[in-house]
Amino acid sequence: MPKSLLITNIKILTGIDETGRRKVSGAEMKILQSIENAFLHIHEGKIFSYGKMEECPSLECDTYDASGRFVMPCWVDSHTHLVYAESREKEFVDRINGLSYVQIAERGGGILNSAKRLQQTSEDELFQTALIRLKEIVAGGTGDLEIKSGYGLTVNDELKMLRVIKRLQDENIIPIKSTFLGAHAIPKEYSDRKKYVDLLIYEMLPKIAEEKLAVFIDVFCDKGFFTVEETERILMAGKEYGLIPKIHANELDFSGGIQVGIKCNALSVDHLEFTGEEEINLLKNSETMPTLLPSTAFFLGLKYPPARKMIDAGLPVALASDYNPGSSPSGNMCLVLSLACIKMKMLPEEAINAATLNGAYALGMEKTHGSISKGKMGSVIITKKIPSLAFLPYSFGNSLVEEVIVEGGKMRNRKDT
Ligand code: NIG
Ligand code: FE
């Protein structure tokens, strides 16, 4: 890591925050503190100082001239299933031909299909393919990441997935947090669902805790998957082992997932396509981050979560990619921001707050990541030359990230333009 990096002539440095707040909620979400014609000095991986170019120190160190470019915190993608064995474009075509996501799952496709493939794939192969995906999303601006298990669904295969995540963490490309999602689907061979939940609680959890393979525990609490009662039992068991709940809720129905997530003090409840007044009011009285995954709603043709209502009610929201082979085969956070603006009527500033500080909160990383703050890690995106901040989500599908700096080093995508 270079000792110091000085980014100069920044058209606009944005996402600044010195209040120490842990998340951004409601009306504040549309405010992004910015400095025009700025510098940013990162020292030993951390943000040391920033300000107007007139105050820029003269330093003997690596410099980067960011004329015409915006600089902002890296995306914090707080919900992914990045480790998987195979893509599922056959199901994509089946859906074009009229089958629904649930119908495909009932015919042995979906999560169980991914589990079958993963069980047949070696740890090494899983690692190599996930590493390629990881490098791609980092080049797109993601500087912090969460990855879930959940395509193993046997003791050995869940452990295999979590060990792959551990190896990705050990590559030290970006910080990665690991989530145990053994409760992703009930394998076909369990006619007695309780037996699978018992396996998860009594056999998987102790081993995961012993090897310290996860910090979060997740359950797919939805129609056709895990019930509210099963979810509570699993989350409580996970908590006994020190795992923090963070769940899939209300993607397919008003599942009670938001309620049980809040009851179990989940750090986040994710998806939320089915969210009404009752859920919004409960979220308002909680510390749980509502996390929205618009690329999943886009890809599956679902209705979108009511982001506007949530923010107008004073809630924070986070945005994440849900990168997985079945419902969101993309970890492109710039596209997630575009969809948030186009389909959920979030303002560009709201989308950026949601994908940075609020994403960091959803990973328990808000003290060190998610904003331009002195002492936080120096993980930033340098855009290409763009006319305004709104241009970023407006210019959907185009790659406008020129450079990604992770903790002061590891420059990526460098092109001389
Ligand atoms: O977050 N909703 C549950 N799990 C994933 C989809 C998994 C799959 O289809 O493989 C999701 O959308
Ligand atoms: Fe997911």
Q: Which residue has a Cα nearest atom 1 of ligand 1?
A: 322
Q: Is the CB of 114 under 6 A from ligand 1?
A: yes
Tell me, yes or no, whether 155 and 255 share the same domain.
yes
Q: Does the pLDDT at position 63 exceed 80?
A: yes
The mean of the pLDDT values for the chain is: 96
Rounded Cα distance, 323 and 78, in Å? 10
Distance of CA 146 from the midpoint of ligand 2 (Å): 11
Range of 291's domain? 77-332
Q: What is the pLDDT of residue 415?
A: 43
Tell me, yes or no, whether 47 and 85 share the same domain.
no
Q: Is the CB of 80 under 6 A from ligand 1?
A: no
Q: What is the pLDDT of residue 303?
A: 96
Tell me, yes or no, whether 54 and 93 share the same domain.
no
Tell me, yes or no, whether 108 and 66 share the same domain.
no
Q: Is the CB of 88 under 6 A from ligand 1?
A: no
pTM of the model: 0.96
Which of residues 308, 332, 356 is at a domain's end? 332
Q: What is the pLDDT of residue 1?
A: 52
Residue 234 belongs to some domain of the structure? yes
Tell me, yes or no, whether 33 and 86 share the same domain.
no
What is the per-residue pLDDT across 224-265, written as a single tens digit (0 to 9) for each?
999 999 999 999 999 999 999 999 999 999 999 999 999 999
Residue 189 belongs to some domain of the structure? yes
Q: Is the CB of 251 under 6 A from ligand 1?
A: yes
Tell me, yes or no, whether 229 and 251 share the same domain.
yes
Q: Does the pLDDT at position 411 exceed 90?
A: no
Q: Does the pLDDT at position 171 exceed 70?
A: yes
Q: What is the pLDDT of residue 107?
A: 87
Categorize the per-residue pLDDT at 3 as very low, low, confident or very high, splitting at 50, 70 and 90: confident
The two tokens of residue 225 are 């998957």
Which of residues 309, 332, 355 is at a domain's end? 332
Residue 323 belongs to some domain of the structure? yes
The two tokens of residue 229 are 């009662």
Percent of the chain's residues with pLDDT above 90? 95
Q: What is the pLDDT of residue 152?
A: 98
Distance of CA 152 from the midpoint of ligand 2 (Å): 15
Rounded Cα distance, 384 and 390, in Å? 13
Residue 14 belongs to some domain of the structure? yes
Categorize the per-residue pLDDT at 410 as very low, low, confident or very high, splitting at 50, 70 and 90: low
Kindly report the CATH number assigned to the domain that includes residue 229: 3.20.20.140
Residue 340 belongs to some domain of the structure? no
> What mean pLDDT is predicted for residues 397-407?
95
Rounded Cα distance, 61 and 48, in Å? 14
Tell me, yes or no, whether 112 and 56 share the same domain.
no
What is the per-residue pLDDT across 80-106, written as a single tens digit (0 to 9) for each?
999 999 999 999 999 999 999 889 988
Helices 333-344 and 348-355, interaxial angle, to 10°?
Answer: 140
Residue to mutate (ligand 1; options 322, 328, 330, 336; most atoms within 8 A of CB): 322
Instruction: Give the 3-state secondary structure of residue 267.
Output: coil
Tell me, yes or no, whether 39 and 133 share the same domain.
no
> What mean pLDDT is predicted for residues 319-329?
98
Categorize the per-residue pLDDT at 413 as very low, low, confident or very high, splitting at 50, 70 and 90: very low
Residue 319 belongs to some domain of the structure? yes
Residue 156 belongs to some domain of the structure? yes
Rounded Cα distance, 122 and 102, in Å? 28
Instruction: Report which bound ligand comes closest to the CA of 179.
Output: 2
What is the per-residue pLDDT across 349-359, written as a single tens digit (0 to 9) for each?
999 999 999 99
Tell me, yes or no, whether 230 and 325 share the same domain.
yes
Which of residues 332, 363, 388 is at a domain's end? 332
> What mean pLDDT is predicted for residues 207-214?
97
Domain count of the chain?
A: 2
Categorize the per-residue pLDDT at 409 as very low, low, confident or very high, splitting at 50, 70 and 90: confident
Half-sphere exposure of 78 (CA within 13 A, CB side): 34
Tell me, yes or no, whether 123 and 213 share the same domain.
yes
Tell me, yes or no, whether 184 and 324 share the same domain.
yes
Q: What is the pLDDT of residue 57?
A: 95
> What mean pLDDT is predicted for residues 331-347?
98
26: DSSP letter: G
> What mean pLDDT is predicted for residues 63-68?
96
Kindly report the CATH number assigned to the domain that includes residue 45: 2.30.40.10
Tell me, yes or no, whether 125 and 253 share the same domain.
yes
Residue 316 belongs to some domain of the structure? yes
